[in-house]
Structures are given as structure tokens and as C-alpha cells.
Chain A
């Protein structure tokens, strides 16, 4: 009887709290999206009327479109590098027992723990010492650093779950190591590779702190552009741009879901 009452209470609490959490999570984005369709001159909720004029303005705005392209390019390249480095690292961490393995694992995950501002400041000094400040390479190094932990985490988890007898079976069937990797290991950790890339892309695409430190006139990422824009004007073009960012992110996730989904069916 008593446990039933507790059970009921828990269920009820769950039924109330769950929608609240979802609403709170979605509300900011929803408000921005709704506001972006305003016909008025200022960023205000609820919006005044309906129009897509701010989208036209956003698309016509060279600084925003340049920044969007910069961010996308940076996120793609950073993700590719991060995947390459992260795959190799995770493979080593999972397969080999070497001295300093734990330290190495911690090192790859450490950018998660170090506050972004500290990382940014440190990198700024380091890169100028390396004479790489104010360069795309410098910015890219920063973004690889902050995306790497997500890749390593996701991939090491998937390696732990990987059944290595499958690799032995492949070897027994005359597959040399590279063929085992290509035909068995990679396809099977494919879903993890895909989710690692999504994490990595989204992290890089949405990052602002590091980009503020490492960005420069020629290479302004979208979040930085939005941030600087907000300082002097506050018009609905921001909402329109932000909506585009949300859409890009969602599109990436959707495409990838679709790809992974197909891989599991096929």
C-alpha cells in the first residue's frame, strides 16, 4: 500500500516535471524562431505581424553570410581532423597497454575540464609564441582541441563494446589487418563515428569563447559575429540568423540520423 502511494506520487511528479523540462529546453529557441518572423523593427516577443524581411536582410548581409561560411568551413575541417586524431587515440587507448595510457586518456579529455577562457588565453599566448596567432591554423588548432574530447569519449565507449572476436574471425578468414579495419571494425563502429562527428561539428559550430580569443578580422565565426553585432544594435536580423544556425544544426543532425539509420537497416 505504502509503496503504491510512493509510486503514484513519483509517477505524478514525473508527469508534471517532464513536460516542464521539455518546455524550458525548447522555449528559448522557440521564442527566437517566432521572433525572427516579425514585421517590426525591434527584437521583441511577441512579434509584431509576420514577414520574412529579416531573413532577406540576413541573407543579404555580407558579414553574416561570410561568418556563416567561416563557421561551417571551420567546423567541417575541425571535425575531420578531430575524427582522425580521435580515432587513432581511441584505438590506441583501447587496444594497447602502454606506459602513461591513463595519462594520455585524461589528456585527450582535459579540454572539457579546463575552463574555455583559460584555454583561450593560454592558446592565444602559445599561438603568438608559435607565430600562429591571427591565422586560420591557430583557430583550427583551438577548435580541434575542444572537439577532440567528444570524439575520444564517444569512440572509446564504442571500442569497449566492440566484440573483438569479430576481428579474429575476419583474420581467420584471411583478411589482413587493413582489410579487417576497413570491412569489419570501421563499419561496426560507424554509428559511433557519426555521432562523434555530430558532437564535434555542433561543438565547433556553436563555440564562441575560443573563437573570440583566436578569431581575427578575416575569420569571424557566426557566433562571434552575432555577439559583436548585439553590442551595438538589437534588431530582428539576429533572430533570423540564429534561426538559420538552429536550422543548420538540426539539418546536420537529421542528415546524419538518416545516414546512420540506413546503415543499421542495410
Chain B
């Protein structure tokens, strides 16, 4: 799906961007330089620096209250940073009001104007920048086609479904051809099935218009599946920036490992290439000697095969749940609990209390920095 981004053609940006020439081409579309936001003695965002490169979809991922939405709002200009600077297309916009920043935002609630039709909602921004009437009509039409809502031009927002409202909001934001599209938890008001379908659609649409996108979510699955790069934020600070693969497979901290995907965490120390957990579990690992935390993803734990290996362990099943494609089991080995995810053919799923031989794929064992 991400292949769509490799196409070379670019849609033309706003005339402004075209006029400012090739300098923009090298500068990141959005650049945050050490921005902080404090409310009294509460720090929402702390010294955060970040670049969003041209054409990429960057996701801010973190638990609620971690400062990701605050960060997005500082980009849009609704919140003024306490310290630091915000650059959009290479221009310092820190002191500029929202209406003088080249961003297009889709709000969590969509914030469609209830007293305007779908067409008028999309046209609103174009009127504000003084696009002539004929051109406006053409652009509205173009946007409606893009989000596949041509039939609904004359409807009011309250007459639309949640998914349709989201598409109007998207069309409205894109109509101005902003330098960056800002999405604030755009799927959180939709039911689970629709959410999955719409995020596929969103990804396709973003690929098609090739717009730089900054996306905020607390849903790790959404982040992994949509993003080119993910920024994991915790307590106003960046924990890790990386591709979805890097984030999932090489988490930089225990927080990242636990927040993104499921895992088993083992604390202990390494000596001579052997990890010994506090709970008495030993594993050969490829990491430096010393105190460490080991992360094991559940899909790397399998039931043991007949041949014996160094990563074979015997444990007792303490929970065994069927999820359809896979089953999730908690297996206690010594005093450590390991989470495994495996597809057991019909009738072979171990029951609680069973003894189970398991094998840990060395590729799935990661040492992360010891958390504070």
C-alpha cells in the first residue's frame, strides 16, 4: 500500500508554495524546534523537536494526555508554545495566527459547519483566500469527486453518516491545498468495522493527493498501519522516532515496547551472552553484558518442536484464549510469565494447567535500555 508514495508525479501545491521556489523542496514541511508547552506547573510538551518530511505520513502516537494533540495544535496555531519554534515550509510561523498558517486540519469531531451544506463547507476556505467563484466551484467539485461525495453537495452535515462527515472534513481541509494535513484522532468517533475500512481509504487518498500528513492517534494499530514514520510520545517527550517496523521490532524503551503491540517483559542481567531474569529464566541473547530489560513479542514464542535447542523452555499454561486467527496463552516459566500468540489447529489448543514446551525464536528477543 505504501508503494503509492513512490510515484514521482506531484500535484501542484498552493501558488504560494510554488512561488517560493526550490528552497522549500529541501526544507522539511513541518519542523518543530524544541517546543514546550507548560500550563502552570504541568508540562504538556517538553522540548520536542521533530521534522515532517515532504510527502510523508508521520504519526504522533501515545496514551491520552501525553501531549500529542497539544503538539498538533501548536502546529495549527491554536496553542502558542511556551518555548521553541514552529516552522512550516521553512518559514517560522510560531507567532502567526492559525489563519495565516498553511495547514489543513481534520478535527476529532470533524467540526463541520452545521449551518452550511457540504458544498458550502468545502467552499468556505476558498472564499476566505479569495478564489474567484468559477474556480471555487471547480475546486469544490474536484474535492467532492476526490472524497466520493458528489451526490451530497446540497446536504447538511447532520444528514450525513459519521464516515461521510469525515470525508467532508477531509475534502474541506484539502480544498486549500495546504502544505500539511493535520489529522486529530480522525477515527475515534467511528465504530470498529468502519474505522478499519476508512483508514484503508484514508491511506489510499493521502497517497493519491501525495500530501504531507501529521496524524495524531492513541491507537497503535492505526499508527503502524498508516504511517511512514511513527513518533511515540510519553509524558510530553519523544520516546522513539522510527518506521513502524523499527518501532515494533526494535523498541527503544520499555514504554514503547509495552505501548506498541503486545509483549512479555523480562528484567535481569546479561553475562557471557546469557540473560538471567530476576524470575530465574535464562536465555542466550546477543547483547552487551549488564543490567537489561528483554522484550519478547508473542508471535516469536512457539510450541516446542521435537529437536531440542537452547531457547526451549517448559512452562505451565495459566490462561488460554481463542481469538480466531490466533490464540493467546500466558505461560509461566519459573517465576516469569510469557505471552505467546500461536495458531493451534482445531482441538490442539492447550488448556489452563497444561504443561507446555515452548521455544523462543532468537529473532524475537530484544534487549532495551533499562527503564528508570
Could you say which residues of chain A place their CB within 8 Å of the CB of B111?
A: 163, 165-166, 168-169
Could you say which residues of chain B place their CB within 8 Å of the CB of A171?
A: 77-78, 97-99
Could you say which residues of chain A place their CB within 8 Å of the CB of B100?
A: 174
Interface residues of B in 89-128 (CB under 8 A from A): 97-100, 103-105, 107, 109, 111-115, 124-125, 128
Interface of A (DSSP majority class)? helix
Q: In whole Å, how far is A185's beta carbon from the nearest beta carbon of chain B? A: 11
Q: Which 6 A-B pairs have the closest CB atoms?
A: A173-B125, A169-B111, A171-B98, A174-B128, A165-B111, A172-B105
Could you say which residues of chain A place their CB within 8 Å of the CB of B173?
A: 172-173
Instruction: Give Cα distance in the complex from A172 to B129, angstroms.
Output: 12
Q: How many chain A residues have a CB neighbour from B under 8 Å?
A: 18
Q: Could you list 18 examples of A-B contacts with CB < 8 Å?
A: A165-B107, A165-B109, A165-B111, A168-B76, A168-B98, A169-B105, A170-B113, A171-B97, A171-B99, A172-B98, A172-B99, A173-B104, A173-B172, A174-B99, A175-B124, A175-B125, A175-B128, A176-B99
Contact call A172/B115, Cβ cutoff below 8 A: no
A9 adjacent to chain B (CB < 8 Å) = no
- From A166, A174, A179, A188, name the one whose CB has the most chain B CB atoms within 10 angstroms: A174
Instruction: Give Cα distance in the complex from A11 to B107, angstroms.
Output: 46
Instruction: Give Cα distance in the complex from A80 to B115, angstroms.
Output: 25
Q: In whole Å, how far is A161's beta carbon from the nearest beta carbon of chain B? A: 12
Contact call B113/A166, Cβ cutoff below 8 A: yes
A170-193 interface bits toward B, Cβ cutoff 8 Å, 1 = contact, 0 = none? 111111100100011001100000
Contact call B128/A173, Cβ cutoff below 8 A: yes
Beta-carbon nearest neighbor of A172 in chain B: B105
Interface contacts beyond A168-B105, A168-B107: sample of 9 additional A-B pairs, CB < 8 Å, sorted by A = A163-B109, A168-B78, A170-B124, A171-B99, A172-B76, A172-B173, A174-B125, A176-B99, A184-B113
Contact call A172/B104, Cβ cutoff below 8 A: yes
Beta-carbon nearest neighbor of A184 in chain B: B113
Could you say which residues of chain A place their CB within 8 Å of the CB of B112?
A: 169
B331 adjacent to chain A (CB < 8 Å) = no
Instruction: Give Cα distance in the complex from A263 to B116, angstroms.
Output: 11
Q: In whole Å, how far is B245's beta carbon from the nearest beta carbon of chain A? A: 33
Instruction: Give Cα distance in the complex from A163 to B114, angstroms.
Output: 11
Could you say which residues of chain A place their CB within 8 Å of the CB of B105?
A: 168-169, 172
Could you say which residues of chain B place their CB within 8 Å of the CB of A174?
A: 99-100, 125, 128-129, 176
- From A166, A173, A179, name the one whose CB has the most chain B CB atoms within 10 angstroms: A173
Q: In whole Å, how far is B143's beta carbon from the nearest beta carbon of chain A? A: 13
Instruction: Give Cα distance in the complex from A163 to B107, angstroms.
Output: 12
Q: In whole Å, how far is B341's beta carbon from the nearest beta carbon of chain A? A: 40
Contact call A183/B97, Cβ cutoff below 8 A: no
Q: In whole Å, how far is B302's beta carbon from the nearest beta carbon of chain A? A: 49
Could you say which residues of chain A place their CB within 8 Å of the CB of B115?
A: 187-188, 263
Q: In whole Å, how far is A174's beta carbon from the nearest beta carbon of chain B? A: 4
Q: In whole Å, how far is B241's beta carbon from the nearest beta carbon of chain A? A: 26
Beta-carbon nearest neighbor of B182 in chain A: A172
Q: In whole Å, how far is B176's beta carbon from the nearest beta carbon of chain A? A: 7
Q: In whole Å, how far is A82's beta carbon from the nearest beta carbon of chain B? A: 25
Q: In whole Å, how far is A162's beta carbon from the nearest beta carbon of chain B? A: 11
- From A169, A171, A184, name the one whose CB has the most chain B CB atoms within 10 angstroms: A169
Q: In whole Å, how far is B181's beta carbon from the nearest beta carbon of chain A? A: 11
Instruction: Give Cα distance in the complex from A173 to B101, angstroms.
Output: 9
Instruction: Give Cα distance in the complex from A165 to B112, angstroms.
Output: 9
Could you say which residues of chain B place their CB within 8 Å of the CB of A166?
A: 111, 113-114
Instruction: Give Cα distance in the complex from A176 to B109, angstroms.
Output: 22
